[in-house]
Amino acid sequence: MPVIFLSPSTQEWNKYATEGNEELYMNLLADKMEPYLRSSGIAYVRNEPDRNVQGAIADSNAGYYDVHLALHSNAAPESLTGRLRGVDIYFAPKSIDSERLANIIANNLKEIYPIPEKSRAVPTNSLGEVLRTKAVAVLCELGYHDNLSDEAWLKNNLNAIAENLVRSLCDYFGIPFIQPVPVFYGMVATDGSNLNIRSYPSLEGTIIGKIPDNAAVLITGAIPGWYVVSYNGIIGYAASDYIMT
């Protein structure tokens, strides 16, 4: 199952038009994303807020991640302060996967951004979090925080943006998006045999682990016939008919 490095901005000095700052709201957005990530079976590690961009890159490269997702909001040059709007999703121009992910995110955000034509995927030759990470990376500039309209959109739609971003990740990974449920434990009931953990909610999904009969298992998401489960560090899908809750 996928694992991502989630890297909200650490730039507390980037003040918003009315109140707050980029670090605050990007971390609030990451908070909102966590339940959607868990329920959809995407594991994640977050950056350390007291480390800079170089630290985030180093921490990401020290692990094994399928995607490095950086969350930011934009600011116009001083001469244009408050006059620009738009969502820019930056990708590495030499990475097919980075470009594909950026286009998925930009296209999905058109559904909720008030000026859809201004949500776009953009190549970058300068952003380290996109170019210097081992994982497939994109950096999301989610509106201009010095523009009152973009600031209001961002602040008033944190949950919708979080859901949209996780939907995009699910589209990229080819797995179902699953709405959050309260996390709970179940017990495997297979009359003695092991219960398979699969990479996809189908009997054709690759078996990535097994759960013994009568074992307790953490359930983080549910769709008809299947649970998203976590057992001994393995996250995947298990048939719900064989788990008592």
Residue 220's pLDDT band, with cuts at 50, 70 and 90, is very high
- Quick count: other Cβ atoms within 10 Å of Cβ 69? 27
Residue 158: per-residue pLDDT: 98
What mean pLDDT, rounded, does the chain reach? 97
Q: Which of 90, 160, 187, 167 is nearest to 132 (CA)?
A: 90
Residue 127 confidence (pLDDT): 97
Confidence at residue 125, expressed as pLDDT on a 0 to 100 scale: 96
What pLDDT band is residue 177 in, cutting at 50, 70 and 90?
Answer: very high
Q: Where are the chain's structural domains?
A: 3-173, 184-244
- Which pLDDT band, with edges at 50, 70 and 90, does 132 fall under? very high
| d(C-alpha 99, C-alpha 86), whole Å | 18
Q: Hey, what amino acid is at 178?
A: I
Over residues 183-208, the pLDDT tens digits come to 999 999 999 999 999 999 999 999 99
Contact 17, 147 (CB under 8 A): yes
Bridge partners (DSSP) of residue 21 are 15
Which runs of consecutive H residues, i.e. helices, occur in 51-157? Answer: 53-61, 96-109, 128-131, 148-156
Residues above pLDDT 70, as percent of the chain: 100
Query: Which two structure tokens, joined as six digits, stand for 96?
Result: 């097919």
The hierarchical CATH code for the domain 3-173 is 3.40.630.40
CATH code reported for the domain at 184-244:
2.30.30.40
DSSP-based three-state secondary structure for 181? coil
pLDDT digits (tens, 9 = 90+) for 88-113: 999 999 999 999 999 999 999 999 99
Question: What are the angstrom distances between the C-alpha of 3 and each of 17, 48, 88, 116, 241?
Answer: 34, 17, 23, 29, 27
3-class secondary structure per residue, 24-61: HHHHHHHHHHHHHHHHCCCEEEECCCCCCHHHHHHHHH
**What confidence tier does 145 reach under pLDDT thresholds 50, 70, 90?**
very high
Q: Taking Cα atoms as reference points, which of 43, 30, 143, 41 lies closest to residue 84?
A: 143
